[in-house]
Amino acid sequence: MAFGHRLWWVDAFIGDAERGNPAVVVLLERPLPDEELQQIAFELGVTETSFVRWVGEQWSLRWFTPTTEVDLSGHATLATLHVLLTELGVPAAELYFQTRAGLLSGRRLGDGMLGIDLPRSFIEPVDAAILNDTLGPVSEVYRAGAQSVLAIVKDFDTLCGLSVDPMSLFLVPSAMVIAACAGGPGVDVSIRVFAPRLGLAEDHVTGNAMCAIAPWWVEQVGSPTVSVHQASARGGVMYARLFEHNVEVAGMARTFFGGDLRA
C-alpha cells in the first residue's frame, strides 16, 4: 500500500479532567532525510512528533522533539498506536514497532485503554548532590537507566509547589529528571518531569517515566501495578504493570485533528 504524508494531532494519556500530552503522528509515504524530519518537528512544535512508516514487514517508528531526535517516547508511541488502530483500522491484535529503543509492541486493552510495552529501567540509589539542589529537599534519588534521574519529594503539595529553573536543571547530568511522590488525586503516585536537555523545560505527560516509576513502586510496596497522575499544566493519567524486562504502560488517547503534510 502507498500512503501519503498524512498527519494526526493526538492527545495521549488523557483523563476525565486531564488533557494529556499532544503528539503529532506523521505517516510517511517514503523516507525523508533526518534534517527534514527535524525541521517538520520544529515547525509542528509539540513535545514529540512521531514518524511512522511501513518498512518490509513491520512499522518503523522514530521520535523528534522540536530540537532533537530521542531514543524513546512513551506518549508518542501511544499516539501512534491510537492512529494505526483507530484512524487507519490496521487489523492486528498486536502491533510491533522497530525503534532506536528496540522492538516495541502495543495493543488494545479493555474500556478504551491502549497498552504499550516499554523497556524497564533498573534503578540504583545515587547521591542527592547530583541534582545540585535544583528540586530542593528530596528523600531519595535514583539513577534510572542511562538517561533518567528519579527524585522522591515529600508529598503532593511539595511536588506541585516545585519551582525549577531550567538552566540550573540543564546542569544535571541526565536527559530527564523525574520528581515523584506517593499519593495524589485518586492515584498511587504523582510525578512531574523536566527535560531541558531535550528542549522541554517541563513535559506534559511522560510515558517513559513509567520505566522508572514502576520498578521504584514495586520496591516501595511490592505491587507490580501502579496508577500515576502527572501534575503538569495539562495533566495526564497513566497505568503501569511491571514485568522482568519491560513495563506495560496503559492509557487513553483521542484525535484532536488530522490533515496532510505539505513539505
Active site residue ranges:
48
Handedness of CA 22, 28, 33, 36 (dihedral sign): negative
> CB burial class (10 A; 0-12, 13-18, 19+) of residue 100?
exposed
**Residue 63: what are its φ and ψ, rounded to 5°?**
-130, 135
As a whole number of angstroms, the distance between CA 51 and CA 66 comes to 13
Handedness of CA 205, 101, 64, 250 (dihedral sign): negative
User: What DSSP character marks residue 13?
Assistant: E
- 3-state SS string over 201-225? EEECCCHHHHHHHHHHHHHHHCCCE
The 10 Å CB-count burial string (b at 16+, else e) for 212-244 is bbbbbbeeeeeeeebbbbbbbebbbbbbbbbee
d(CA 207, CA 77): 9
Nearest to residue 228, comparing CAs of 243, 210, 242, 244?
Answer: 210
As beta bridge partners, residue 193 has: 178, 203
